[in-house]
Amino acid sequence: MEIYNPNGEVISSNMCEDLLEEILVRLPLKSLFRFKCVSKSWHGMISDDHFRRRLPLVTSAVFYRGSSDQDGAPRYAFVSDDHHLEECNLDFFPYHDKSTIIDSCNGLLLSYSSPSTAFYVVNPDVKRWVALPKPLKKTHLSVLAFDPCDSPDYKVVCFTAWRAHGAEIEVFSSETAKWTEHELQWGIDTDAMSATMHYFHGVLYVLAYPNHIVGINLHKMHCRKIELPEPTRRDGRIGHSGGRLHYSHNEGEEVKVWMVTDLDESNWVLKDSIRVQEVVERRSQINLLAFHPEREVLYFWMPGRLVSYDLKKKRIEESWEFGTEIKDKAHLIQIWLFPFSCYLSDC
């Protein structure tokens, strides 16, 4: 395909590619990925890592529990085109009814079958799954670590034994397809470690009571202790936005948001203090779910819906209502994870 300038001259191929890229990155994502079938050159451009990093992050799904569910199993709902959260199933995964979803990270699910001690990693976006080789030891806690903006590879971290100030772990890497054993020393009492975790750029961050975050570097198997600006609470959340670590919790009628400026020195600044009335018109419970990884946007849960809140504009940006199949249970829902996905395939 040749493109001409106003003088009737053919624009160079490099300029054509640059212009085409500028057009494609502005298209709706569903249309964009259909255009991968146009030609080999278009497929290569759209699949290129540099190109995909320019695409907007999209809210893809939410995992939650309903207290009325007899089995207590987490459920999965996807974001529909009409801004509803519609419950969907995982029928493409043959072991869905024989295993339990125990963790999820940035769009991937970790499922475990107790009878066969088997782990499965499931990708609902592309409806694919893989069975992992069996670990060497029995696990007490298993965590999925996946950051598609950093690497297409994932890790499964199994805590196999607790120590007074650390733990023994086994780590499966999709890159090597093997389990490896390691020992961790996190520098605080193990009883202080919570189940609130966040994975980013090779580090698993764990909230620890009363006032710390422990960063576990899964490449170097080294732990870093980060002091929090205030004592943490059970609704505390960890996340990343703009490449910086953030922490938040509710305090009365306000939601406080801090950002770290120096991890080594545990220096934090109070980024914002949001009044609940700014998010909801009437008195209601709200919980922070996630930080947008790039923009000044927070995601909150409130009975019956999820909302994105723009910190700069001080207003709700988008809202997703629970669909008819799960709306009646909306007030019973405890959110488990609110992932983002900028890669719709190949993860």
> Which domains are assigned to the chain?
1-55 (no CATH), 56-341 (2.120.10)
Rg (CA), the chain: 22
Task: Give the separation between CA 132 and CA 118, rounded to whole angstroms.
Answer: 7
- pLDDT, residue 84, reads 65
Task: Give the separation between CA 332 and CA 328, rounded to whole angstroms.
Answer: 9
Task: Give the separation between CA 307 and CA 115, rounded to whole angstroms.
Answer: 39
Task: Give the separation between CA 8 and CA 148, rounded to whole angstroms.
Answer: 43
- pLDDT, residue 202, reads 92
- pLDDT, residue 63, reads 62
In the numeric block, which tokens belong to residue 243?
Answer: 């490449």
6: preceding bond cis by omega (within 30 degrees):
no
Per-residue DSSP letters for 228-259?
Answer: -SS---TT-EEEEETTEEEEEEEETTEEEEEE
- pLDDT, residue 344, reads 39
Q: Residue for token digits 């249970």?
A: 329
Instruction: Going residue by residue through the chain, which has 347 residues, state the pLDDT in tens, using 9 for 90 and above.
Output: 444 445 555 444 555 677 788 887 777 666 776 787 888 888 888 777 677 666 655 555 666 655 555 555 556 666 655 666 666 667 889 998 888 888 888 778 899 998 888 999 988 777 889 999 999 899 999 999 998 777 889 999 999 999 999 999 999 999 999 999 999 999 899 999 998 899 988 999 999 999 999 999 999 999 999 999 999 888 899 998 888 999 999 888 889 999 999 988 889 999 999 887 777 766 667 778 888 877 788 888 777 777 888 888 888 887 777 655 555 554 434 444 444 444 434 43
Determine the 3-state secondary structure of 322 from DSSP.
Answer: strand
Task: Give the separation between CA 133 and CA 228, rounded to whole angstroms.
Answer: 38
* One-letter identity of residue 121: V
- pLDDT, residue 14, reads 55
Report whether 45 contacts 55 (CB < 8 A).
Answer: no
- pLDDT, residue 87, reads 65
Longest dimension (CA), the chain: 76
Report whether 304 contacts 84 (CB < 8 A).
Answer: no
- pLDDT, residue 266, reads 87
β-bridge pairing 193-200 and 178-185: unpaired
Give 129's Cβ-side CA count (13 Å radius): 21
pTM of the prediction?
0.78
Per-residue DSSP letters for 179-231?
Answer: EEEEEEE-SS-GGGEEEEEEEETTEEEEEETTTEEEEEETTTTEEEEEE-SS-
- Residue 333's DSSP bridge partners are 66
Q: Residue for token digits 């990155």?
A: 25
Per-residue DSSP letters for 143-172?
Answer: EEEE-TTT-S-EEEEEEEEEETTEEEEEEE
